[in-house]
A and B are shown apart, each in its own frame.
Chain A
Amino acid sequence: MASQVEFDLDLIDSLIEREEATLEPTRRASIAYRATADRFVAGGVASSWQDSPPHAIFIDRGEGNRIWDIDQNEYIDFHLGYGAMVVGHAHPKIVEAIQRQAALGTHFAQPTKHLDVIGENLAERFRLPLWRFCNSGTEATLEAGRLMRANTGRDVLVKIEGTYHGHHDSLMFSVAPDPADMGPREHPNTVAQAMGIPQAFADLVRVVPFNDLDAARRVFAENDGTIAGMIVEPAMMNCGVILPEPGYLQGLKDLCHANGAYLAYDEVKTGATLAYGGASEVFGVTPDIICLAKAIGGGTPCGAIGATRELYQPIVDGTYDMAGTFNGNPLTMAASQAALLEVLVPDAYEGFNRIDKAMKDGLTSVIEKTGLPAYVSGVGAKGSVIYSTTPVREYRDVVGIDERISYLAWLFQQNRGVFKSPWTKQETWTLSVWHTEDDAARYVENFEEFATAVTA
């Protein structure tokens, strides 16, 4: 084992320059297309986060664990559309389900018979009895916030500093706050993540650090009787993969209930990826509400909200509406049914765990060999390399890590046939059911080149 080295940021800058220069000539079609798309598509892309440095990469097609960009570069896909495609691209069972449903009609705004089948499957996986469907993770967490407020008649929501829960107004705070704005750790400021959100909405959100039960207790004590509920990603997924410490989730649940409030999980990223029953299964604590999206749709726009009978009672009564034209869209439901019942079966998770072990073993041995100040964290289909020598427990532990490190790691993989999620401050990956030990080996091999180069 090599002795630990410090990152040399000058070296990293020069390597970034080298890798960007290597990338550019092989991405000419993407660069040219981006300039054309500018004419009618604002910023050339359909979502701001698709325009990642050094430039947007336009994808042509995908199959299984592979994607091809419009320059016809082939990649092993560890991005998987921000973690949505654990079924892999164009899975034959999903293709068949979608093609069949398209011929039968894709949208009626009336209920169809898929609903109950999927509801039953989700109830079995996540141990919450009742489910509704929508079109994105944003819509799911929007409904979760409203369910908690409507059921308690209270106004305040508690969230974790450094987590993203979609782009609606009620939770778009302290997603990735600038250290200059975030305030003291004991009382983090509620920092708007976007312009155009009235300050009045920020005043109703309290922010606490992850993995700190005492901080949560303090917030409940200071806001006695006004907190409707708390929403957490049971494992934080925007800062690498940060696992909850033993007892933390159960502690939050008990705390919420002792205060007449609800606990909601945002499992948009962890649901059906960490395990068959998502983070709820892995950590053994079932909350009052679970928000799902991404992986459950098999690659179609999707969302779902699971909750207890108590929370859903006002919806059942019709006291208030949870509605949307495309909710339970038959095409989405058909794809979702195939994904959940035919692809993401218990065996699939054994596969994820096997590849996850190969990834972790390989990457850890590279870290030990090169002395890279980093460690590996992950569960099931999700994993990350975190560029820190001390365990990261919360958002503030990662703000000091220089973004250039993970950007360079991304460039190394991109130039060597592996597509990782862009923007990732910490090296996160997603596995699909098609990923093999060879794919893991390629990832590790590229990582070794990167680790060797930065520790040279």
Chain B
Amino acid sequence: MSATETNAATGTVEIDLALVEELTKREGAALDEKHARSLSYREEAKSHLPGGVSSSWQTWPPHPIYVDRGEGSKVWDIDGNEYVDYHNGYGVMVMGHAHPKIVEAVRDRVAKGTHFAQPTEDALPVAEQLAERTGLPYWRFGNSGTEATLDVVRIMRASTGRDLIVKIEGTYHGHHDALMVSVFPPESDAGPRERPHSVPQSAGLIPGTLESVVCVPFNDLQLAREVFAEHEGKIAGMIVEPVMTNCGVVLPDDGYLQGLKDLCHANGAMFAYDEVKTGFTVARGGAIEAFGVAPDLVAFAKALGAGLPCGAIGGTAEAMAGVISGEIEQVGTFNGNPLTMAVAKVNLTEVLTKRAYERLDELNMILHRCEDVISRYRLPASMKTLGAKGSIDWSTTPIHEYRDLWKIDDRVPQLAWLWQLNRGVFKSPGSKWESWTTSIVMSDADADRYVENFESFASAITQ
């Protein structure tokens, strides 16, 4: 290999962005050729679906890819292309597609009825599993991560009688109004790092939303302390992703989570985790197990339901007291839907077992060969994995908080995504920072494929 330039300070190559653009054009054209059916279907779908899709995040450039079916570690699109699935439906399918035990659970329950809006017996074993995995005793269910974090915010405000919520700059907690703030704030709007502005992520938010949220950078306990001091007696609670997962995989510094918990409690506020993405993926007991700090409230969704719309909130006896007494109504027609519960039960008791998580570690051993590629090609990149989650960050210094991403040029991870897609690996689209989700049914060959593609990519961009 012959890199044109080298960064003297880091010893890494300078990525030639003109080359990246040329390669992106080539890879985009190659992709179009394979996706004739997806491209034409999108035009048909546009007649009744805005953008031809059901969620705006299903239509990333260059075009949405319509999926036909999945089995185990693989998915096939409607053009018949086969992929090893590292997207896994934005981190939901850590158990793999159409897992025989899940298929059987669906078959059994569907024949007995899927919805009564009355309690059924499967909610209890699911709650018991969640309690055992997290140490939090009390659970309720909903239909999405959005509903789960909505309930968490409601409980924090109702329990404290306060309005302000503290969140981390650059994290997504669902699309309800309360937390649609500073999810991906552009540098031009974000304000000073010490006191980030609350930036609306969407038009049409309830006015007053921005004033009821205070943002702080991840991994900075001192700034969190300052914010609590400035808003003394007004903060209902703080919600964090214990591992930031929208910026690659950003781990919490030692002591950070415990520090936040202590800070919240010292100020009469509640401390909540959004484990929608980390739950059942980074470890059997999610980030609570991985980092050993339990919050007052936690939101789960995604992997819990093995591919069915799902959500759950858990909490300590104290945090859930209002819900238990009925003073705080936590409700929904589909909450605890029998089909979702039957599947979640089998998922937690028979599929996502302790052994399953060992398999994720084995896969990571293979995937970490990407680090050899990074060092051999002197790429300005670093790699992190935790359980099923992993990312290659296009930065020579570790990503520590959201603002560290601003220096990364989007074009590099976009090309990395296209490169994998054209070579049989489906990563999450829109993941500018190359995050993936592995599944417990992946083979060594599936992991090898990722590393091989990454190496050919490394070779191409350092030509």
Q: Which residue numbers of A lie inside 8 Å of B, CB to CB? A: 33-34, 36-37, 39-51, 56-63, 67, 69-70, 77, 79, 81-82, 84-85, 89-90, 94-95, 98-99, 102-113, 115-116, 119-120, 122-123, 129-139, 142, 145-151, 153, 155, 167-170, 193-201, 203-204, 293-294, 298-302, 312, 314-316, 318-329, 331-332, 335
B115 touches which of A81, A111, A122, A123 (Cβ 8 Å): A81
On whether the beta carbons of A37 and B119 are closer than 8 Å, the reply is: yes
Please determine whether B158 and A195 come into contact, CB atoms closer than 8 angstroms.
Answer: yes
CB-CB under 8 A from A111, the residues of chain B are 45, 52-54, 58-59, 64-67
Residue contact B55 to A204, C-beta cutoff 8 Å? no
Residues of chain A within 8 A (CB-CB) of B66 are: 110-113
A198 touches B208 (CB 8 A): yes
Q: Which residue of B lies closest to A56 (CB)?
A: B119
List the A side residues contacting B315 at CB < 8 Å: 42
Tell me the number of A-to-B contacts counted with CB atoms below 8 Å. 423
- Leading 5 A-B pairs by shortest Cβ distance: A46-B336, A328-B54, A150-B204, A119-B48, A196-B158
* Binding-face segment, B125-133, B248-256, B380-388: B125-133
B residues less than 8 Å from A109 (CB atoms): 55, 57-58, 87, 89-90, 92, 428
Chain A residues near B204: list those with CB within 8 A.
145-151, 320
The smallest beta-carbon distance between A197 and chain B, in angstroms, is: 7
A312 touches B50 (CB 8 A): yes
Cβ 8 A contact of A89, one of B68, B113, B142, B334: B113
A299 touches B328 (CB 8 A): no
Q: Which of B15-23, B102-110, B186-194, B350-358 contacts A (4 or more CB under 8 A)?
A: B102-110
Interface centre among B90, B156, B306 (most CB of A within 10 A): B90
Contacts of A59 in B (CB 8 A): 113, 116, 118-120, 338
CB of B144 closer than 8 Å to a CB of A:
yes
* Cα–Cα distance between A116 and B66 once the two chains are bound (Å): 12
Q: Which residues of B contact A120 (CB under 8 A)?
A: 47-48
Interfacial chain A residues near B141, Cβ < 8 Å:
46-47
> Do the beta carbons of A107 and B93 come within 8 Å of each other?
yes
Question: Which chain A residues lie closer than 8 Å to B335 at the CB level?
Answer: 46-47, 50
Query: Which listed residue (B51, B137, B327, B331) contacts A40, Cβ 8 A?
Result: B137
**Contacting residues of chain B (285-328) with chain A, CB-CB under 8 angstroms:** 301-302, 306-310, 315, 320, 322-328
Report A423 CB to chain B, min CB distance, Å: 11
Whether, in the assembled complex, B424 has its beta carbon less than 8 Å from a beta carbon of chain A, the answer is no
CB of B208 within 8 A of CB of A201, answer: yes
Known: A109-B90, A110-B58, A169-B154. 7 other contacts (CB 8 A): A46-B141, A60-B112, A90-B110, A119-B49, A136-B144, A139-B175, A150-B202
Given contacts A137-B333, A321-B56, contact A108 B70 (CB under 8 A): yes
- Interface contact B154-A50, CB-CB below 8 Å: no
Question: Cβ of B103 and Cβ of A103 under 8 Å apart?
Answer: yes
| A106 CB, nearest partner CB in chain B, Å | 3
A47-B331, A62-B116, A149-B203 known; A133 vs B336 contact (CB < 8 Å): no
Q: How far is the CB of B81 from chain A (nearest CB, A)?
A: 12
The answer to whether A129 touches B48, judged by C-beta atoms less than 8 angstroms apart, is yes
Query: Would B327 and A195 count as touching, CB distance under 8 A?
Result: yes
CB distance from A445 to the nearest CB of B (A): 24
Give the CA-CA distance A121 to B319 in the complex, in Å.
44
With a 10 A CB-CB cut-off, give which of A99, A146, A314, A325 has the most chain B CB atoms. A325
Complex: chain B residue closest to A303, CB-CB: B143
Q: Which of B57, B139, B336, B341 has the most CB of A within 10 A?
A: B57
Chain A neighbourhood of B119, CB < 8 A: 34, 37, 44-46, 50-51, 56-59
B308 surroundings in chain A (CB, below 8 A): 106-107, 300-301, 329, 331
B residues in contact with A98, CB < 8 Å: 106, 110, 114, 339
Closest residue of A by beta carbon distance from B74: A105
Interface centre among A40, A122, A198, A327 (most CB of B within 10 A): A40
* Inter-chain contacts of A325 with B (CB < 8 A): 55, 89-90, 92, 144-145, 301-302
User: Which residues of chain A have C-beta atoms less than 8 A from B142's C-beta?
Assistant: 136
Q: Which of A46, A200, A328 contacts B58 (CB 8 A)?
A: A328
Answer whether A201 and B206 are a contact pair too, CB < 8 Å, given A116-B45, A195-B157, A324-B55. yes
On chain B, the residues within 8 Å of A200 by CB distance are 163, 206-208, 211-212
Q: Which residues of B contact A (CB under 8 A)?
A: 41, 44-45, 47-59, 64-71, 75, 77-78, 87, 89-90, 92-93, 97-98, 102-103, 106-107, 110-121, 123-124, 127-128, 130-131, 137-147, 150, 153-159, 161, 163, 174-178, 202-208, 211-212, 301-302, 306-310, 315, 320, 322-341, 428
Chain A to chain B contacts (Cβ below 8 Å), 21 pairs? A51-B326, A59-B338, A62-B116, A63-B113, A67-B113, A81-B117, A90-B111, A98-B339, A102-B106, A104-B98, A108-B70, A110-B77, A136-B142, A146-B203, A194-B328, A195-B328, A201-B206, A299-B114, A300-B337, A301-B308, A326-B92
> Across the interface, which residues of A come within 8 angstroms of B44, CB to CB?
116
Are B123 and A46 in touch, CB under 8 angstroms? Answer: yes
Q: How far is the CB of A86 from chain B (nearest CB, A)?
A: 11
Give the complex CA separation of A69 and B121 in angstroms. Answer: 10
Report the Cα distance A312→B158, complex, angstroms.
Answer: 34
Contact A294 B127 (CB under 8 A): no
Please indicate the chain A residues that have their CB under 8 angstroms from the CB of B68 in the complex.
104, 112-113
In the complex, what's the smallest C-beta–C-beta distance from A361 to chain B, in angstroms?
A: 28
Task: Give the docked Cα–Cα distance between A196 and B103 (Å).
Answer: 39
Supposing A312-B50, A329-B308 touch, asked if A167 and B212 sit within 8 A by C-beta, the answer is: no
Contacts of A50 in B (CB 8 A): 117-119, 335-336
> Please, how many angstroms separate the alpha-carbon atoms of A57 and B117 in the complex?
10
A318 to B202, CA, bound (A): 11
Complex Cα–Cα for A61 and B110 (A): 10
**Which B residue sits closest to A307, measured CB to CB?**
B50
State the Cβ distance, A337 to closest chain B Cβ, in Å. Answer: 13
Return chain B residues, CB-CB under 8 Å to A41: 123-124, 127, 138-140
- Closest Cβ of chain A to B16, distance in Å, is 29
CA distance A236 to B159 in the complex (A): 32
Could you say which residues of chain B place their CB within 8 Å of the CB of A107? 89, 92-93, 307-308
List residues of chain A with CB within 8 A of the CB of B41.
113, 116
CA distance A84 to B113 in the complex (A): 12
